[in-house]
């Protein structure tokens, strides 16, 4: 997952939204999920990783292209 995240960060850093977004990676195997109840629920239900949120709301699960995620970000700016 870390590699996908790194690629996404690079993609965003090379885009027009780079100064308008904060990106955070949570390792569900190592980081505490306290405060991430929706993530816990989705994992318990078997949703695939990565789980992706925009403005704190889960929007995607499983694989997603950087372009699709970028378009979703643009909708919320």
Q: What is the pLDDT of residues 5-54, one digit of tens each?
A: 899 999 999 999 999 999 999 998 899 999 999 999 999 999 999 999 99
Pairwise CA distance, residues 15 & 36, whole Å? 28
pTM: 0.80
pLDDT of res. 56: 85
pLDDT band at 63 (very low <50, low <70, confident <90, very high): confident
Cβ atoms within 10 Å, residue 1: 12
pLDDT at 75 over 90: yes
Q: Are 59 and 53 in contact (CB under 8 A)?
A: yes
pLDDT at 1 over 80: no
């Amino acid at each position: 997952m870390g590699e996908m995240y790194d690629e996404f960060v690079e993609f965003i850093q090379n885009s027009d939204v780079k100064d308008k977004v904060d990106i955070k990676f949570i390792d569900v195997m190592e980081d505490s999920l306290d405060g991430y109840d929706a993530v816990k629920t989705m994992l318990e239900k078997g949703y695939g990783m990565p789980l992706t949120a925009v403005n704190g709301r889960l929007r995607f699960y499983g694989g997603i292209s950087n372009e699709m995620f970028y378009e979703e970000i643009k909708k919320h700016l």
